[in-house]
Amino acid sequence: MTADTVHSEDDGFARVLRGVLSALLLGVTLVYLPSLSDYSTPKSVLFLILTSVLAAGLLTRMVLQGEVYVVDTPVYYTILAFLAINFISLFQSYNIYQGLQTLLVYLFQFVLMVATFHVVTCRKHVVQVLIVLVTTGSVVALIGLLQHNGIYHFHHPWNIPVATIGNTNFVAEYYNVVFPLSVTMLVITRNGWAKIAALMAVFLMTCHLIVLGSRGGWLGAVVIGAVFGGAALLRQVENRRRVFDSVVVLAFVVVLASPVLTVFASAVPTAQGKSLGDLIGRYWEGVVSRSEDALRIQDDSSRQRVLLWEDTLRMVLDRPFVGVGVGNFEVNIAHYLSGESLAVKSRMEEEADKAFMIFRAHNEYLETWSETGIVGLVIFLFLIGQILRACGRLVSGYFRGHHDELAVGLCAAVAATLVHACFSANFQNPASAVHFWVVVGLIWAIDLNREGRDRVGLLNTGNDPFSFAVMAASGAVVVLMMIYGAMTWLGSSRLMDGRKTYIKKSYPEAIQQLDAAASLLPPRPFAAHELIGKSWYNVEAWDRAVPAFEKSLTYHPHNPGVHYFLGRSLLKQDQNEQALEPMERAVALAPFKVEYLEGYGAALSRTGNLPAALRIFEKALSLDPNSVETLHLMGGSYRKLGRHAKAREVYERALLLEPGDAEVLNSLAVVEVEAENFERAIDIFGELYEAHDDRPDFGLNLAVSYFSAGDSVRAVEVSQAVKAAHPDFEDVNPFLKQVLGVE
């Protein structure tokens, strides 16, 4: 495709379909709901609905024209093989529901690609699509820069320039595709105003990339520059021009211009006492520093990715041929994390003061291998090879003068995405994935040149009932996608409402909202059931918390937090033996979580395995020497062993950290009773009950201490006082009967 037409057919129906494609690109990029912290859900829903509309419209157009056909290309066979191996991998999945969701997204991405090269039939159409891409990219860049400078936060609490995409890495992945196409528009457009608009778009995106702080974005920019620069030089060679002279002249111009540009940048103010030169210098230092850290693997972010790749390889080697199932990486990876990975993760969680869950391998090729096995990886790489082969033909045509920079820009977008995918999740972020497959569709629209290719007729149609049934079926798919999308959207919204209500500690209301979310189709159902369980736990309905946690584990069996709370719920019901397994699993999955170690140690202590419990408590103290709860539990284990002196030592150590802790003081006084230090026990219990007269158990313990010391009269007095102050406290009655000798 140069300036000539690939396919001569164009009608109003086709123009409507291109309008749907444009709406899809605009919507998936810019749609954002402040009510959802999850940026991806509305984008994914919109993608599924509009892609189904586009596909149904294309199929209807073919039916009305009398033939349903595809272009004769081996790409279809590769796509079908990849979808087939993904479907087969579902039988290995823990979470088939999530696997089906992921497979549906893959299917629609390929449908979008095919629909693109059927409705974009000439260079004019390609340019129209590029205009939409560049326009939306400019809006994203503008919003990001407004966020970065604190002018408009766009419902985001921090000055993080994520725009409508939701994550700095996701924005970088999106720019892998859109930025080179903006440069392309700047080069190929001839209209003055259009060139100014393209220049402004490139400028905004460049500024946004600089302040973004994403090394993936900078890597993509380097790849894009290399593709454009390499293509230009090779074209010079192809046309036997003097490349060396051109390079020397360019370098000479840059050297002469640099002092002028430096002076200019120093003269442009950007803030109080600051200039554009200062701004550029500061960000350049940041780029260099972060890039050096990544290359040397010095920062936790880089180290965590490298360790995660090792963990993913461990998972691959465990299931090399069939994988763990499409979409199931996130529910399996926790089982394969090394100790070093867990240590880095724990440190990052401590710094951020929140728990992290690993959802991606930060390498699309490794993740594909882990989910679909070696067969899936080979098919996927073969598909990538077919895309690169088409890119090679376009670039070759550019060298020979058959194509202009449009071909280079499309190939640069593909190259940047494929390279960045070695370190990120470009094919799973809705914004970047949709744009990538549309670009691939544009490349095939140019490369296939359908007038010179045979069609493969699939179905002859006419005014018969079957043809109308085909159109009705395509419409039914659209309706199904709308229903599915609405349920996903509402499920995500209810889940977010429930999470907010849970944070406010309005647990009964949160349970209602979360139950509503779980009955719909939220993106990750395990989270809804986890929060339902925690809500029941917090209202002390332990018996109802247990099934909710167990339901969550059917979706995500390697979630350490759910195992921990399941164990806690069982301990609260004195089901100590049953609590051992989930507590042990929680510690195995997150061995650096002190509270998980405490829970496991408590379960061991209650089941009588006191030496093992003490070893677990020692490990917890090695992670947090100042944990009062760990010391309290450890003291209890020593007391059960009859080692009163050691228990006293541990309790007193806890009281040095938290003077006046009522529970620790109570336990210390119990030790003194058992060690027959009654006077000290009476003093401690007396002070406790005086300070906490709402705790009748402290008063009863005081009475028991008097009785153990041989002062039955004082024991009766205290017991009767407790009974009078707390008539509903039943535990005092058996003790009074014992002291008074009443049957």
pLDDT digits (tens, 9 = 90+) for 410-442: 999 999 999 999 988 899 999 999 999 999 999
Label the pairing between strands 274-275 and 269-271: antiparallel
> Does the structure show a pLDDT above 70 at 248?
no
Longest dimension (CA), the chain: 115
User: Which stretch of 17-26, 336-345, 591-600 has the lowest confidence by average pLDDT?
Assistant: 336-345
Q: Torsion-angle region of residue 93: left (phi > 0), alpha (psi -120 to 50) or beta?
A: beta
Collapsing DSSP to helix, strand or coil, 154 comes out as: coil
Residues in contact with 653: Cβ distance below 8 Å, sequence separation at least 6, in sequence order = 631
Rounded Cα distance between 565 and 184, Å, is 54
Is residue 492 scored above 60 in pLDDT? Answer: yes
Of residues 682 and 236, the one with the higher pLDDT is 682
In a 10 Å sphere around its CB, with 0-12 CB exposed, 13-18 middle and 19+ buried, how is residue 59 labelled?
Answer: buried
Res. 271: pLDDT tops 90: no
What is the average pLDDT across 682-710? Answer: 89
**Quick one: what percent of the chain has pLDDT higher than 70?**
87
Closest residue by Cα to residue 347 from 307, 293, 296, 314? 307
Average pLDDT over residues 137-160: 80
* pTM for the model: 0.84
Over range 599-610, report the average pLDDT.
Answer: 95
Number of Cβ atoms within 10 Å of the Cβ of 593: 22
Q: Are 75 and 386 in contact (CB under 8 A)?
A: yes
pLDDT over 60 (residue 538): yes
Q: How far apart are CA 462 and CA 469, in angstroms?
A: 11
Is it the case that residue 573 has pLDDT exceeding 80?
A: yes
